[in-house]
Amino acid sequence: MSSLNNIEKGLYLENLEILIPWKTSLDDISLYGNPEIKVLSPQRTDAIWRNASIFGGLTLDLTAMFWETLFRRNKFYSAHAYIDGDSFTKYKPFLDYHFHQQSRQVNQNSLEYYYKWKMNKCSIKLGKGDRFGEYYYIQIDRKII
């Protein structure tokens, strides 16, 4: 199973060979690869899969944030991770190829930008930020509604 081909259904962790379906509840998320659970506030809980592999071998610590808000209701709608600069450079053309589309570059300011791919209700951002030094990230989202 490919994590890229099944992005509409959920996020596939290649190293664990499991698909985490979108909209999985916080109560059930531990059934998918036994992530580390961190309660950060009454409204926010993170699930973290250490050394997860996605999108053809990109290895990272993947974090899903669960929010107890009117629309989210502690469901799995997004995941993100910080990545190194080499992975950022490598995965941009890889994602262009596998999604059969060129990404759209969005400049946030003179130092920060991201590339974005959209597939129906899902989007992937591969970005470079700068807060007291540059950092790189990947963000995978599914529309809530």
Residue 37 lies in a domain: yes
- DSSP assignment string, 2-29: -TTTTTTTEEEETTTTEEEETT-BTTTG
d(CA 106, CA 114): 5
Whole-model pTM: value is: 0.87
List, for residues 81-113, the tens digit of each pLDDT value.
999 999 999 988 988 888 877 788 889 888 899
Residue 1 lies in a domain: no
Quote the pLDDT of residue 57.
85
Provide the domain limits for residue 17.
10-142
Residue 5 lies in a domain: no
Count of domains observed in the chain = 1
Residue 3 lies in a domain: no
Asked if residue 2 has pLDDT above 60, the reply is no
Asked if residue 68 has pLDDT above 90, the reply is no
- DSSP assignment string, 98-134: HTTS--EEEESSSS-EEEEEEETTEEEEEEEEESSSE
Quote the pLDDT of residue 120.
85
Quote the pLDDT of residue 96.
87
- Both ends of the chain: CA-CA distance in Å? 26
List, for residues 13-64, the tens digit of each pLDDT value.
999 999 999 999 999 999 999 999 999 998 899 999 999 999 888 899 999 9
